[in-house]
Amino acid sequence: SSRFIMSQFVALTLECKSRILGAQRRRQTAFRLTLRKRRRAGPQGESAQPQGFGVQTLVRPAILNGGSVRMRSRRQHVHVLSLPLHFMLFALLFPAWDCGRPADTEGGQTAGSAGGSSRMSTGEVIFPVTIAVAERKNLVKQVRVSGVVRARREVEVLARTDGDVVEVRKRNGDFAHAGEVIVRFDDRELRLALDRAETGLLGAQIEYKSLGSSEAVFRGDSARLQERLAEARLRLAETEEAFRQGKMSPEEYLRLKRTYETDVAYYSVHREDVMAIKSGLSQARETYQRAKMDWEASQVKAPFNGYIADCTVRQGMRMRGGEKLFKLVDASRMYVDVDVLETEVGKISPGSRAEVVANAFPGRAFSGIVAAINPVVDPQLQTVKVTIELSGTHPKTKAAPADWGRARLLAGMFATVSVETGILRDRLLVPREALLVRDQRTLVFTVEEGLAKWCYVEVGEQNEEYAEIKSGIKVGDKVITSGHYTLAHDAKVQVGSPGENRVAE
């Protein structure tokens, strides 16, 4: 285009001028050094002609006055010589100065090239561009927010007993099944305590059997005990009536009530319960259960299927009860928690479709839906917590996925979420990259017969990828999406993509 040619000529002129002035400064410096040498050499050297510097071709004759030198530079001649070149370039480019922008017609379109006012020959200057076809399709409106990926469940597994670690069977990233032993403590003392508790339980069971064959223990369900229990209940009813009538003090009422509760507990107990208490079976069973729990705590198991994470425990380490051993991550389903502005949360509803792109995998999108919307607004940030449930990203449960670590979402990843808020159907759309703004008006470049055509357009709704065109172009037009920032009307273009090079038709 004319602007491109003009910029090239101006750049060339400035470069030539810079080189001429640089050479002049270097020669002047050499001349000053020569004069200094002549002063040091004395009167005999003043009349000597400097050799190798071409002084008379650079400056006018110098006037020596009292050891001082006046030198008139020929820089003025350089400026004078460069002026004709500037005037010549201006005269050459002025007629084509406004040829880069087409004249407007009444409908906002560019004037055709038949009149000859908006089309000029660009010679062999060809601009490489890429294009897209304007199509009618649905425009999906979205709300774009950022959030953090989390797993379905994440728990920190803690040590439940004190002891030395003797074995660690899993490492970070390993998959563990529910109930599988991950860490094992030294259990020798705990095993001894369990054996003692088991022996005590056996002795109590023998004593219990002995009492079962003896008549020393009464039967709690005998008729005599039932009569005593009925008498105790009658006394309690009489006591409550006397207390309501004010014939009994509160202290005496509480004493008689405690006596009644003791009688009920004594007369209602079963014979087997009395035998268990007298034989020590109940206490022995409790001691055994506690010793068994302590021994089982020496073997730390996975509470559910998941991946081992943040495991820092090593064999030989001394751990105390309550200290963290590792984290278990259930990645069977992933979620993304995002903060949506309160002004936009009304556009989102549970079940709305969403698209998630993690920063770690910019070329891969994960689909999901809005699973939950927090009914409370954060008073400081003025945002609402929204949970996105992802689909199709959970790994296998019986074995680690083959692509683990390559294209798999991990808990804690930062992601960008686009939540669908509405669909505008049957709209003329072009990529947003095709839009340009010049003279405070929006335009696109189309390709016709290998030439770029400047077209003003009216833009409607937009999303992150596409823009609706209300007027200016039609369906099927080829709009330029890259390489169009320096284009002019009727500039010759070459359409292609990486690895492709063809002329637009």
Beta bridge partners of 270: none
Three-class DSSP category at 487 = coil
Three-class DSSP category at 311 = coil
What are 45's two structure tokens? 């050297």
Q: How confident is the model at residue 484 (pLDDT cuts 50, 70, 90)?
A: confident
Q: How confident is the model at residue 206 (pLDDT cuts 50, 70, 90)?
A: confident
Q: Which distant-in-sequence residues (6+ apart) come within 8 Å of 231 by Cβ?
A: none
99, pLDDT greater than 70: no
What are 201's two structure tokens? 């339980």
Higher per-residue pLDDT: 360 or 392? 360
CA nearest neighbour of 33 among 69, 74, 78, 75: 69
User: Whole-angstrom Cα distance, residue 186 to residue 52?
Assistant: 95
Averaged pLDDT, 275-282: 79
**HEC-encoded secondary structure of 398-428:** CCCCCCCCCCCCCCCCEEEEEEEEEEEEEEE
Q: What percent of the chain has pLDDT over 70?
A: 71
Averaged pLDDT, 183-206: 90
pLDDT at 87: 46
Return the domain boundaries, the chain.
2-96, 104-156+335-505, 157-301
What distance lies between CA 155 and its chain's CA centroid? Answer: 22
pLDDT at 325: 93
pLDDT in tens, 382-441: 999 999 999 865 433 344 444 444 557 888 999 999 998 888 899 999 999 999 998 889
pLDDT in tens, 440-481: 899 999 999 889 999 999 999 988 889 999 999 999 999 999
pLDDT at 91: 45
**HEC-encoded secondary structure of 324-346:** EEEEEEEEEEEEEEEEEECCCHH
Q: Which distant-in-sequence residues (6+ apart) come within 8 Å of 376 by Cβ?
A: 384
User: Whole-angstrom Cα distance, residue 122 to residue 494?
Assistant: 13
Q: At what angle do helices 2-41 and 75-93 cross, to 10 degrees?
A: 170
Higher per-residue pLDDT: 51 or 395? 51
Q: How confident is the model at residue 499 (pLDDT cuts 50, 70, 90)?
A: very low
pLDDT at 4: 57
pLDDT at 45: 44
Long-range contacts of 492-495 (CB under 8 A, 24+ apart): 492/122, 492/125, 492/126, 492/127, 492/450, 492/451, 492/452, 493/126, 493/127, 493/128, 493/129, 493/447, 493/450, 493/451, 493/452, 494/126, 494/127, 494/128, 494/129, 494/450, 495/129, 495/130, 495/131, 495/447
pLDDT at 401: 45
**How confident is the prediction for the chain on average, in pLDDT?**
76
Amino acid of residue 326: F
63, pLDDT greater than 70: no
pLDDT at 11: 64
pLDDT in tens, 299-339: 999 999 999 999 989 999 999 989 999 999 998 889 999 99
Q: At what angle do helices 188-212 and 271-279 cross, to 10 degrees?
A: 130
pLDDT in tens, 223-240: 666 777 777 788 888 888
pLDDT at 317: 92
Supply the CATH classification number for the domain 104-156+335-505: 2.40.30.170
What are 482's two structure tokens? 């890259």
